[in-house]
């Protein structure tokens, strides 16, 4: 379908550009950003599979962007740095980085590490953020916020329902905790006894026409969270 999309965030053009050329030659799609802020924007635009991130940059620190990515459950991160200090490596990894490569680096090693990380990441984690997708006999249009049964009449979704469904469709089969869902759909932390997600799930299930006895599309993992149990395929224009 599509090659993985790598975002390189580094203020030094003489690192950024040769690396981009090399990765493109290896079949990746590559985007560039010269600052943490640009990198953040690029990630929010969507469809980034992995971020290669320089730690030392003027302005916002690379580590802080890394932490932000981790907290959001965003794409995986490989940190890049001139510092060989072991303590820095450990801090980086503990912050949520998936790997840590020291400059100067052999591009082939970085490539191998990129592949190793991507191999382990549920590939759907960073696909298209929107569009039309088909699942379990439904067609979901994220832009129009509608849900159409195989046959006919479209059902309107509220914006919260639409966000929840998008998040689930982005990660089919993956169990998401209430905390993650809250963060991803509303961008907020859970209060004590927060049942907002349970309700959204309940409402969405109803619109999906689920059997309350036996939900087959949005499945509850007891003590864990929720999971989408359906195959999802992106839909082109019709």
Binding-site size for its own copies (CB under 8 A) equals 49
Contact between 63 and its own copies per CB under 8 A = no
Are the CB atoms for 221 and 171 separated by under 8 Å?
Answer: no
Least CB distance from residue 116 to its own copies, whole Å?
5
User: Checking DSSP bridges between strand 99-102 and strand 225-228, what pairing results, if any?
Assistant: unpaired
> 165: closest CA among 136, 195, 123, 192?
136
38: enclosing H helix or E strand: helix 36-45
56 binds, among DNA, its own copies, none (CB under 5 to 8 A by kind): none
Query: What is the nearest approach in angstroms of its own copies to the Cβ of residue 202?
Result: 17
Which residue number, 41 or 130, has a Cβ lying nearer to its own copies? 130
- Say which DSSP state 124 is in: G
Among 10, 54, 98, 170, which residue sits at the site for its own copies (rule: CB under 8 A)?
A: 98
* Edge-first strand listing for the sheet containing 232-235: 154-156, 146-149, 138-141, 132-135, 232-235
Q: Which residues 6+ apart lie within 8 Å of 199 measured at CB?
A: none
Report, in Å, the least distance between residue 125 CB and its own copies.
Answer: 10
Quote the least distance from Cβ 192 to its own copies, whole Å. 20
Q: Which residues pair with 132 in a beta bridge?
A: 141, 235
Cα 36 from chain centre: 18
Residues in contact with its own copies by CB under 8 A are 76, 86, 89-90, 93-94, 96-99, 106, 108-109, 112-113, 115-117, 119-123, 127, 130, 143-146, 154, 156, 158-160, 173-175, 213-214, 216, 219-224, 227, 229-230
Residues in contact with DNA by CB under 7 A are 156, 158-161, 178, 186, 191, 193-196, 198-203, 205-206, 212, 215, 220-225
């Amino acid at each position: 379908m599509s090659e993985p999309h790598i975002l390189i965030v580094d203020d030094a053009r003489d690192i950024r550009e040769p690396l981009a050329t090399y990765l493109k030659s290896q079949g990746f799609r590559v985007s560039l950003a010269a600052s943490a802020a640009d990198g953040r924007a690029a990630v929010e635009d969507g469809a980034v599979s992995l971020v290669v991130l320089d730690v030392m940059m003027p302005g916002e620190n690379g580590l802080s962007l890394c932490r932000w990515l981790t907290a959001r459950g965003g794409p995986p991160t490989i940190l890049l740095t001139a510092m060989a200090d072991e303590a820095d490596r450990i801090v980086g990894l503990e912050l949520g980085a998936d790997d840590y490569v020291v400059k100067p680096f052999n591009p082939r090693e970085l490539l191998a590490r990129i592949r190793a990380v991507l191999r382990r990441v549920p590939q759907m984690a960073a696909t298209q953020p929107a569009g039309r997708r088909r699942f379990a006999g439904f067609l979901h249009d994220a832009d129009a916020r509608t849900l159409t049964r195989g046959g006919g009449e479209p059902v309107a979704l509220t914006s919260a329902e639409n966000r929840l469904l998008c998040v689930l469709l982005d990660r089919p089969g993956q169990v998401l905790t209430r905390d993650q869902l809250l963060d991803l759909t509303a961008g907020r932390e859970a209060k004590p006894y927060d049942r907002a997600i349970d309700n959204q799930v309940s409402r969405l299930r109803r619109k999906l026409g689920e059997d309350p006895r036996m939900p087959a599309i949005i499945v509850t993992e007891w003590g864990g969270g929720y999971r989408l149990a359906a195959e999802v395929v992106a839909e082109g224009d019709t």
